């Protein structure tokens, strides 16, 4: 039996969402058509829009449907930059954190290369949390040239939650709009778009039990966002394209269910997460927990940052294992029926250490030995027990393989440099 510990990558669809999507797929109708079938489809879309608004503290008119989190992030980052630059040619600076998801980092890189943007990085501490004093100083220095600030609500790798309301307050003192990638936060943390003070917020359906390729950008009414593509003018003219009615119905239902269950479910999952962390430390005492450290885990094992009041996603446990390669650990665990994620990405077959860990001050060699375990609505104690049984032998084997193959790896590295 497989133990699935990769809910941060995608979580299984909720049965209710599957049923709603299957039922809706039996109906025809483009939500932009004026005949009866079209009007019926439009009702479903608007009901979904209202459900998302209620669940996340937004007006229905502030909900712009997209095909997922990456599109929402791109639309916000590029759209706000273009709008602000058009209004004031001097506003070419974007403030972001170096720990953002690539759905934000890559658009930033594209804007630098093609649109003469200037990106300034807000400092983060050892837990990956924004240094508010450093951010305030940065905004005082460059605020007049800043088009937007973008900071993810909760980190997808190490699970650290940012002080979003305080960040928004600092940016608004300089008249700067704020975007947050809340893809990992929605449905897992208390989240209220209006109360947060941000100007736009990205969410994704498949992170909270909805279908893949569904998502939304919550954008404050009156916010000027230049569209990334043009066509039929759907979604306030910001995101043209025929709406996927079955997916949106399922997405809205999943979001509603996730938000309704969040208070009790987060408590349950956090308890499982703490059991998982203890089990890893029992089996591998030198494994290092990365990200914000809950006080109930303080002193039980090595951590990158001291225990603090900083919040962590309830289902996230991110470790580095000294003397191991994360990819090796992942494959060895997979062979034992435990599925998780590595903290590194692979480009052209060459392993790269996590940019998140590097920004947090982790040495490159250490960052290569990272694994992320993430729990969700289907997780149980048996999943934790499976990892507890497997992790010790897997780490021992990976360390043994790493020692025996060290000369080969050095030779491979030299070949890559050539």
One domain, residues 253 and 351: no
Whether 26 and 165 map to the same domain: the answer is yes
Token pair for 381: 């104690």
Instruction: Examine the domain organization and report whether 209 and 301 are in the same domain.
Output: no
Assign 416 a pLDDT band (cuts: 50, 70, 90). very low
Q: Which range is least confidently modeled, 103-117, 168-182, 223-237?
A: 223-237
Range with the lowest mean pLDDT among 76-90, 305-319, 373-387? 305-319
**CA–centroid distance for 50 within its chain:** 24
Do 247 and 285 fall into the same domain?
A: no
Q: How far apart are CA 26 and CA 210, in angstroms?
A: 18
In a domain, 2, yes or no: no
pLDDT of 219 reads: 97
How much is the pLDDT for 400? 87
In a domain, 6, yes or no: no
- Mean pLDDT over the full length of the chain: 93
pLDDT of residue 100 exceeding 80, the answer is yes
The confidence score (pLDDT) of residue 352 equals 83
d(CA 3, CA 7): 11
pLDDT of 415 higher than 50:
no
Q: Are 315 and 188 in contact (CB under 8 A)?
A: yes
Within-domain flag for 1: no
pLDDT of 393 over the 60 cut: yes
**Dihedral angle of Cα 251, 254, 259, 265, to the nearest 10 degrees:** -140
Give the DSSP letter of residue 6: B
Residue 342: pLDDT band (50, 70, 90) is confident
**How many domains does one find in the chain?**
2
pLDDT band at 345; cut points 50, 70, 90: very low
Out of 31-35, 206-210, 341-345, pick the least confident. Answer: 341-345
Compute CA distances 30 → 38, 39, 42, 51, whole Å: 5, 8, 8, 20
**Is residue 144 domain-shared with residue 277, that is, in the same domain?**
no
* pLDDT tens digits along 13-72: 999 999 999 999 999 999 999 999 999 999 999 999 999 999 999 999 999 999 999 999
374 and 273 in a common domain = yes
Listed residues 241, 257, 273: the one ending a domain: 257
Domain final residue pick, 257, 283, 314: 257
Residue-wise pLDDT for 210-219, tens only, equals 999 999 999 9
Q: To the nearest whole percent, how much of the chain has pLDDT over 90?
A: 88
Positive or negative: CA dihedral 268, 272, 278, 281: negative
178, 168 contact by CB (below 8 A): yes
Please give the residue range of the domain that contains residue 301. Answer: 262-417
Instruction: Based on the fold, state whether residues 89 and 237 are members of the same structural domain.
Output: yes
Q: How far is Cα 218 from Cα 77, in angstroms, rounded to an integer?
A: 13
pLDDT beyond 90 at 241? yes
Task: Say what the pLDDT of residue 88 is.
Answer: 87
Q: Of 205, 175, 233, 193, whose CA–CA distance to 62 is shortest?
A: 193
* Residue 87 pLDDT > 50: yes
Strands (E), 22-92: 63-66
Q: What is the pLDDT, as a whole number, of residue 401?
A: 79
**Mean pLDDT of all residues in 137-149:** 95
Per-residue pLDDT at 246: 98
pLDDT average, residue stretch 231-238: 92
Q: Which residues pair with 130 in a beta bridge?
A: 124
Same-domain pairing of 389 and 329: yes
- Do 149 and 189 lie in one domain? The reply is yes
> What pLDDT is stored for residue 334 in this prediction?
97
CATH code for the domain of 242: 3.40.640.10
Picking from 257, 274, 295, the residue at the C-terminal end of a domain is 257
Helix (H) or strand (E) holding 87: helix 69-87
Structural tokens at position 287: 């494994």
* Catalytic residue flag (residue 346): yes
Are 266 and 272 spatial neighbours (Cβ–Cβ below 8 Å)? no
Token code pair at residue 299? 């002193």
303-307, 313-317, 395-399: least confident range: 303-307
305 in the same domain as 366: yes
Say if 215 falls within a structural domain: yes
Same domain, 53 and 183: yes
Same domain, yes or no: 215 and 350: no
CATH number (domain holding residue 309): 3.90.1150.10
Residue 343's pLDDT is what? 61
Least-confidence region, from 149-158, 296-305, 379-388: 296-305
Q: Is residue 7 part of a domain?
A: no
């Amino acid at each position: 039996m497989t133990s699935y510990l990769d809910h941060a990558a995608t979580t299984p669809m909720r049965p209710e969402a599957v049923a709603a999507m299957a039922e809706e797929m039996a109906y025809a109708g483009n939500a932009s058509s004026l005949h009866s079938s079209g009007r019926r489809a439009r009702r479903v879309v608007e009901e979904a829009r209202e459900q998302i608004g209620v669940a996340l503290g937004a007006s229905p008119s502030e909900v712009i449907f997209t095909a997922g989190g990456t599109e929402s992030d791109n639309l916000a980052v590029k759209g706000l930059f273009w709008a602000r630059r058009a209004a004031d040619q001097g506003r070419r600076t974007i403030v972001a954190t170096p720990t953002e998801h690539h759905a934000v980092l890559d658009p930033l890189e594209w804007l630098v290369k093609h649109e003469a943007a200037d990106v300034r990085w807000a400092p983060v501490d050892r837990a990956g949390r924004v240094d508010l004093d450093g951010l305030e100083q940065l905004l005082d220095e460059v605020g007049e040239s800043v088009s937007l600030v973008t900071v993810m609500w909760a980190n997808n790798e190490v699970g650290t939650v940012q002080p979003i309301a305080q960040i928004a307050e600092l940016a608004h003192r300089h008249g700067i709009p704020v975007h947050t990638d809340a893809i990992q936060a929605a449905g897992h943390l208390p989240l209220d778009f209006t109360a947060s003070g941000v100007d736009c917020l990205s969410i994704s359906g498949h992170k909270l039990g909805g279908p893949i390729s569904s998502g939304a950008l919550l954008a404050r009414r009156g916010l000027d966002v230049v569209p990334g593509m043009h066509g039929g003018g759907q979604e306030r003219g910001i995101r043209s394209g025929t709406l996927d009615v079955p997916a949106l119905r399922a997405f809205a239902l999943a979001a509603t269910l996730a938000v309704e269950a969040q208070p009790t479910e987060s408590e349950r999952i956090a308890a499982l997460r703490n059991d998982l962390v203890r089990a890893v430390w029992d089996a591998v005492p030198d494994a290092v927990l990365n990200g914000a450290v809950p006080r109930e885990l303080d002193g039980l094992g090595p951590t990158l940052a001291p225990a603090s009041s900083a919040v962590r996603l309830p289902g996230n446990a991110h470790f580095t294992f000294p003397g191991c390669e994360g990819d090796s650990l992942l494959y060895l665990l997979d062979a034992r029926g435990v599925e998780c994620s590595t903290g590194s990405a692979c480009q052209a077959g060459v392993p790269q250490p996590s940019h998140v860990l590097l920004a947090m001050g982790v040495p490159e060699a250490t960052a290569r030995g990272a694994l992320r375990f993430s729990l969700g609505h289907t997780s149980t104690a048996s999943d934790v027990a499976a990892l507890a049984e497997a992790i010790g032998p897997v780490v021992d084997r990976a360390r043994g393989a790493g020692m025996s193959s060290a000369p080969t790896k050095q030779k491979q590295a030299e070949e890559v440099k050539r």
